[in-house]
Amino acid sequence: GSLFETFKIHTPGSADGRAALDEFVELNELARKIFSESSELIVNEVNALKNTAGKARQVLIWQMAGLVSCTILFVVLFSLLISRPIRQIDQGITLLGDGDFSSPIRVTGSQDLEFLGDRLNWLRMRLAELEEEKAKFVAHVSHELKTPLASIREGSELLGEEVVGPLTAQQREIAAIVIKNSIQLQKLIENLFSFNTLLAKETVLYRAELTLDQIVSDVVDDQKPVILKKELSLDINLESVIMHGDRKRLYTVVDNLLSNAVKFTPAGGTIAITLECQYDSAVLDVKDSGPGIPANEHKSIFEPFFQGQAPNLGHIKGTGLGLAIAKEYVLAHGGALELVQDNEPGAHFRVHLPLI
């Protein structure tokens, strides 16, 4: 029977009772060993599972790190492969926007991007051809207009001087108008020709020693008829300035600035011209009493063909090239032309020229 039934039948002091007790002790010891060994086995298994989980987690972390690193590397490489041709395309477009048609446009990258680069380079060559054709056309037109215009001017001057006979007051007035407008047309044509030369990068300075104040005086004398007709007052203060430069180009600079002032100054207004030496530079200021230049046009007035909002008081509309040409000629001399913002009525232009 069972160990429990043996304890019920026999007393603890009997032989069978003692045998049953010994058997119980052995069973208890066996149960304790089984429990101890099973607990140890469970602990070992748990530790093994923990180690396995730790290793798996470590492997997963390394795999994730490797995946992230590879992803970042791939993104960087892809960005480099894409950004380089995009940057080359952007540089090419910038060159075209700046009017530089001489630098070839090359794009390296995928086949589609290289094709786009080839099309941009074709556009560059086409624009260069059109620019050359335009330059030839302007040069041809300017040359063809000079001869008949010179004849008109000479003929009107002969009429004004009454070489062919006396004129009535009305006829003299008409002759004066023809002379004035022929001079303005001649200046427009000369500006077109000068601008065409600038575009072709063919401007050559013939430097020689000159007196800048004398050039300013010559320009004022040449424009005296228009100044007197509009009854303008001149406030002139010129220091003696001796420098090396291209007399013809500097004459054009002063002439364009003064013509601009005369054009926009109303009848009876005042134009101030100042020339002085400041350190190692000559500074020329031309200031009128006209409507001035709006703030939104300050950045555009030196751009070719720009026409401002100020009313043109002359009979012939300008080309918008005078200030652009003046600035280029001043830059060619190593100087600077700027619009002075002094919060006073009228426009105020200042020229800086190095005394070399």
Domain 208-354: give its CATH code.
Answer: 3.30.565.10
User: CA-to-CA distance for 255 and 326, rounded, in angstroms?
Assistant: 9
| pLDDT tens per residue across all 356 residues of the chain | 555 565 556 555 566 666 666 776 777 788 888 888 888 888 888 888 888 888 888 888 888 988 888 888 888 887 777 788 888 888 888 888 877 788 888 888 778 888 988 999 999 899 888 878 877 777 777 777 777 887 887 888 888 888 878 888 888 888 888 887 887 788 777 777 777 777 666 667 889 999 999 999 999 998 888 898 889 999 999 999 999 999 999 999 999 999 989 988 999 999 999 999 998 899 999 999 988 888 888 888 888 777 766 655 554 556 678 888 899 899 989 999 999 988 788 899 999 999 87
Strands 281-287, 233-238: pairing is unpaired
DSSP string spanning 109-121?
SSHHHHHHHHHHH
CA dihedral 152, 153, 159, 160 (to 10 degrees): 150
C-alpha distances in angstroms, 283 versus 90, 242, 260, 330? 40, 12, 18, 12
| pLDDT for 176 | 82
| pLDDT for 187 | 78
Please give the backbone phi and psi of residue 155, each rounded to the nearest 5 degrees, phi first. Answer: -65, -40
| pLDDT for 212 | 96
Q: What are the structural domain ranges in the chain? A: 3-88, 208-354
Contact between 139 and 196 under an 8 Å Cβ cutoff? The reply is yes
| pLDDT for 134 | 78
Q: What are the helix (H) ranges across 205-277?
A: 212-222, 224-229, 247-264
| pLDDT for 160 | 82
Place of tokens 């008409």: 174
| pLDDT for 16 | 62
pTM for this entry:
0.61
Please give the backbone phi and psi of residue 230, each rounded to the nearest 5 degrees, phi first. Answer: -85, 0
| 316 secondary structure, DSSP code | S
